[in-house]
Structure 1
Amino acid sequence: MSSKDHRLVQCNKKDEETLLIFKKGINDSSNGMTSTWSTKKDCCAWEGVYCDNNTGRVTEIDLNNQYLKGEINFSILELEFLSYLDLSWNEFDVINIPATQHNITHASNLFYLDLSSLYYVSLHMDNLNWLSPLSSLKYLNLSYIDLQKETNWLHVMATLPSLLELQLSHCNLNNFMINPSIEYLNLSSLVTLDLSYNNFTSQLPNWFFNLTNDLTYLDLYKSNIHGSIPHSWKNFTELEYINLWGNRLS
């Protein structure tokens, strides 16, 4: 259980140092939540930061829609008990990914990650390999982050066995390529998949409808997909919502 009552718990100093490193890259001109991040207060009392009542370790960070600018420094993933991270709907224009994934493995408890940006912000990410150690991830939203240079995105997603919801709308994705040596992609837990507003310029591959049997929500709206819909779409027996509009499908 997480708490905002810092009288009950004292923040872990290592976690405090990690949060302050993360803050250095942020421009909070609106004097929002991160303006309270100061050593004058226990870090469990900082706005947007939530700690475990018993251990004082940071478990959640919610900085959604705070008009934050500057850099997302993935040093934040060194918080080894972090389970929830929401940095969505801000104006970050740089993502600082560490050269090695050693420290990211600390965030193996992370189950919720939302980095989705805004339509008018130019935020790019050239690879997603840093996601692979996050084996507990259930929710992932990278919408409005330009992933055009990431050609291996499907393989990375297949390394996340617990993933239930994947939001990759407006990411400028342009391929469904998989390594021919891999017989199938393991996304068997996936329930929600949003790939709308991308630029695939290709047909839906036959294996696409074998990704999972539990999918209930599929959005491919205006993703520049063409050709015929494979008969294998009927494998999605649990599907409750599907949007294929705005493509050239027959």
Structure 2
Amino acid sequence: MRTVTVSLFHFLLFIIVAVCFSCSCCDGNSNVLCIESEREALLKLKNDLIDPSNKLSSWVEGGNCCKWNGVVCHNLTGHVDQLHLAAEPYEWLKLGGTINPSLLQLKHLTSLNLSYNNFSSIQIPDFFGLLVSLTYLDLSLAQFQGPIPHNLGNLSKLQYLDLRCDLSSWGMEAKSLEWVSRLSSLQYLDLSGVDLYKATDWLQVTFNLPSLLELHLFGCSLENQIPDYSGNMSFLEVVDLSLNSLNSTMPNSLFSLDHLQSLDLSNNIC
């Protein structure tokens, strides 16, 4: 059974995002007018999406995009700051289609959540690596396919990255995690279900991220003995390496993490 651990960081991050979204959508944006170029960018985004539940019905020409469903604008500048377009986990009708590069016109976007949608026909767009203001990116269980673009490593402000895949689909893969090594601000990383069979650098990269607090690599096809490493001994608090094929012999370096609170090595095949 997989151990579920919620760190203080993860809990506080959830509360902050929820409060910001609630305040901005309900009250904070009431007197803010969206910027025309950003409204047009969102309409182009809508036109390329498949929206069977009509979730984006409020996205209309000439409307105030700061009041649209899923859109959060900065209370002072009016720039689109957050896009919350996640589906509910058990929702049948989900967003799909393609993602228009007009998203790049949202130059002040700090948070993007497309989780639990159905983008089963496309890869994560390369241009996501140009959304350099992002601090929060959640594409988990959105059915993206193929290799993860390495230019996600350009998102130097990113603090939260969730790319979890459905274990039954093996939708995404990474042959190297070199790009992750450039995310020096990252505090939360979840690549569970991503095929990392060929990513032999996973330990050296992830355990050397200077700000990382949580690492989730559940069911990533990691094999054989965990190699020992030398690095800057991260501040990791939570590590989940369950449901892989790791050898029972674990390096001393794995147990010498000073801040470690939870280590899940269950369901590994020795």
Q: TM-score, normalised by structure 2?
A: 0.78
Measure the CA separation in 2 of the matches of 1:89 and 1:248: 29
Residue 237 of structure 1 pairs with residue 261 of structure 2? no
**Residue of structure 2 in register with 1:138 after alignment:** 159
Measure the CA separation in 1 of the matches of 2:112 and 2:159: 12
Q: Residue 78 of structure 1 contacts residue 104 of structure 1 at CA under 8 Å; is this kept in 2?
A: no
Aligned residues: 236
Amino acid at match of 1:88: S
Q: Residue 124 of structure 2 contacts residue 149 of structure 2 at CA under 8 Å; is this kept in 1?
A: no
Which is richer in strand?
Answer: 1
Q: Which of 24, 28, 35 is the equivalent residue of 1:3? A: 24
Amino acid at match of 1:219: D
> Post-superposition shift, 1:184?
9.8
Q: Which of 116, 138, 144 is the equivalent residue of 1:89? A: 116
The SS at the match of 1:47 is coil
Amino acid at match of 1:135: S
**Residue of structure 2 in register with 1:117 after alignment:** 141
Measure the CA separation in 2 of the matches of 1:232 and 1:132: 26
Q: Which of 91, 103, 116 is the equivalent residue of 1:76? A: 103
Measure the CA separation in 1 of the matches of 2:206 and 2:192: 23
**Residue of structure 1 in register with 2:12 after alignment:** none
> Post-superposition shift, 1:46?
0.6
Q: Residue 148 of structure 2 contacts residue 172 of structure 2 at CA under 8 Å; is this kept in 1?
A: yes
Measure the CA separation in 2 of the matches of 1:151 and 1:95: 15
The SS at the match of 2:179 is helix
> Post-superposition shift, 1:172?
1.9
Give unpaired runs (5+ residues) of structure 1: none
List aligned pairs for 1:57-72, cutoff 5 A.
57-65=79-87, 67-72=94-99
> Post-superposition shift, 1:3?
3.3
Give unpaired runs (5+ residues) of structure 2: 1-19, 89-93
**Residue of structure 2 in register with 1:54 after alignment:** 76
**Residue of structure 2 in register with 1:223 after alignment:** 244
1:21-77 per-residue CA deviation (whole Å, 9 max, x = no partner) reads 222221111112x22111141111111001012211000111121521222445424
Measure the CA separation in 1 of the matches of 2:240 and 2:41: 37
**Residue of structure 1 in register with 2:48 after alignment:** 25
> Post-superposition shift, 1:109?
2.1
Moved more, 156-165 or 8-17: 8-17
> Post-superposition shift, 1:186?
4.1
Q: Residue 51 of structure 2 contacts residue 96 of structure 2 at CA under 8 Å; is this kept in 1?
A: yes
Q: CA RMSD in A?
A: 2.7
Residue 129 of structure 1 pairs with residue 150 of structure 2? yes
List aligned pairs for 1:195-234, cutoff 5 A.
195-207=217-229, 210=231, 212-234=233-255
Amino acid at match of 2:263: I
- Distance change in 2, residues 1:77/1:190 (3 Å): farther
Measure the CA separation in 1 of the matches of 2:178 and 2:156: 14
